Structure 1
Amino acid sequence: MTLIPRKQAAQLQTLVGIKRQKAEQDMLSLQMEVRRIEAEIAAISENLKALDRTGEEYDGASLARRHGAVERMIAEIDRRKAELAARQAELEAAREALKRVMHSEDRISDL
């Protein structure tokens, strides 16, 4: 392997450092998005479970079922799950990008 001048190596190190920072920020943003969507799915699921409980609020639950609230909640959960799957795929791609940048950083430090 040929050695490159120190100035160029330092510039490469700086550029790769910036790319690493960007990759880390992208990954963190996607992780936060995934957590937010998971929390939304859990909240909607809890609301749906609350409609299933029998007791004093039977009339309210019955009306909600008759007017399509349950179907809307189920559709919303399905939509959020699809969004979650897409974000998880993006997160995996961001992890791979970060791995590549870290590998590049290691290779530059070997120069």
Structure 2
Amino acid sequence: MRKPRDYDAELKTLEDKARELKTRKVQQLGELVIATGADGLTPDELAGALVALAETKDPARREAWAKRGAAFFRSKSRRSVQAPDNGNSGTATQPGGAQPASGATGAA
């Protein structure tokens, strides 16, 4: 004879998993805000910039933002790898790191 499924336990497990995923997403978004330097903005400025970004439907503009974001992440990983090897590498990558902050201000 088959053992009946415990739907309540399965539902609770799924709810716990969904809660963990939501918590991880919120944490990663917070880390992204800090990594880009956008934590220096006021909450109103940040929210306004994000609303403007979300409302933008222009594919060319969104693609440009995507390329800029990808370049930001590439420069971040390269900077963390090179930083211990060469103290001067921070100055070479700093202008690239400053671009997202000015872009975020311009988008607001």
When normalised by structure 1's length, the TM-score is 0.35
When normalised by structure 2's length, the TM-score is 0.35
Which is richer in helix? 1
| Higher normalized contact order (CA 8 Å, seq sep 6+, divided by chain length) | 1
